[in-house]
Amino acid sequence: MPQIVDLSMPIESHPRDPTFEGVKLTDHETGGDQIWRALFIPPKAPLRKKLTGLWRYMRASRTANRHSFPGGKFLSNEVFSISVHCGTHLDAPYHFGPVCEGKPARRINEVPLEWCFGHGVVLDLTYKGLKTAITVSDLQDALARMQYELQPMDIILIRTDSDKLWPRPEYFSAHPGMTEEATQWLVERGIKVIGIDTNGFDLPFMEMVQTYLSTKNSQVLWPAHMYGRTREYIHMERLANLDRLPRSHGFQVACFPVAIRDAGAAWVRAVAIV
């Protein structure tokens, strides 16, 4: 049997996470009452004519409640209000811009699924300090230490161990980030999917904003994301548990995104199959 390593961070509510807006939880008891109340409410047009007889019958009986279900329990339900960038997720080319390589950028439901299953390669950059940029040299040095040569369509996983900071403020404000040059270097070698265990792919939000305000240079704003307007690639953010992988390569990665029509990103349950 293969070993399955979960590389995903669960979606959960936290006041520091701006991508999570709210959740409505319905437990088994509450759900049992709600379903019957919904059936007792008069139907609205155009269902009124079709359901009026059934509604009148149920309203007259009014004997149904949560205890009508086996064990006095119905079904749970959860309604989450979250961004597609909450939890471990995959950014499609459309997230980076409306056009990529001179063509309309692909939405998340248009990303080729063949990209999302392949040979995984972990680059150990855990030595990188807080708020530091990941350079081409960092990638080359990591590969040299592994004695590994990149192959087209490898799925690259950048390990910084920033997932261990969750949910401290540093998780959002102090992680390392990819540079445009490092992203370009990987994509030019046939890489389509790059993942990282940080809150964002670039440097932290406020680091980029502060640099821009002092320099007025727009090139410092989300440079790795913006590169996705020039060459087509996709990346994962908020990976986790890269330290649990037993080796740096020689395993498979599956990272299929949820098919959300017209969205620029989607949640993904990324796993390594060793």
* Strands of the 193-196 sheet, one edge to the other: 4-6, 271-273, 249-254, 117-124, 155-159, 193-196, 234-237, 89-91, 265-267
pLDDT tens-digit readout, 207-247: 999 999 999 999 999 999 999 999 999 999 999 999 999 99
pLDDT tens-digit readout, 139-195: 999 999 999 999 999 999 999 999 999 999 999 999 999 999 999 999 999 999 999
Type of residue found at 235: H
State pTM to two decimals: 0.89
User: For tokens 């329990």, what's the residue?
Assistant: 73
The C-alpha atoms of residue 177 and residue 224 are separated, in whole angstroms, by 9
Q: Does residue 60 have a pLDDT over 60? A: no
Mean pLDDT, the chain, integer: 92
The C-alpha atoms of residue 201 and residue 203 are separated, in whole angstroms, by 7
**Dihedral angle sign, alpha carbons of residues 55, 57, 61, 65:** negative
**Position with higher pLDDT, 208 vs 25:** 208
Share of the chain above pLDDT 90, in %: 81
User: For tokens 């339900």, what's the residue?
Assistant: 77
H or E element, residue 251: strand 249-254
Type of residue found at 162: S
Q: Does residue 47 have a pLDDT over 80? A: no
Query: What is the chain's alpha carbon radius of gyration, rounded to the nearest angstrom?
Result: 24
Q: Does residue 56 have a pLDDT over 70? A: no
Nearest residue to 229 via CA among 76, 122, 125, 103: 103
- pLDDT value at residue 55: 55
Which tokens hold the place of 74? 């119905």
- pLDDT value at residue 72: 85
- Helix/strand number for the chain, H first, E second: 8, 15
Q: Does residue 65 have a pLDDT over 80? A: no
pLDDT grade for 121, boundaries at 50, 70 and 90? very high
Q: Give domain 4-9+85-273's CATH superfamily.
A: Putative cyclase (3.50.30.50)
- pLDDT value at residue 234: 98
- pLDDT value at residue 43: 53
Nearest residue to 248 via CA among 145, 140, 161: 145
Which tokens hold the place of 150? 């990149």
The C-alpha atoms of residue 153 and residue 268 are separated, in whole angstroms, by 19
Distances (CA, A) of 128 to 111, 117, 139, 143: 31, 28, 12, 15
**Neighbour count for residue 17 (Cβ, 10 Å):** 19
Start-end of CATH 3.50.30.50 domains in the chain? 4-9+85-273
- pLDDT value at residue 232: 98
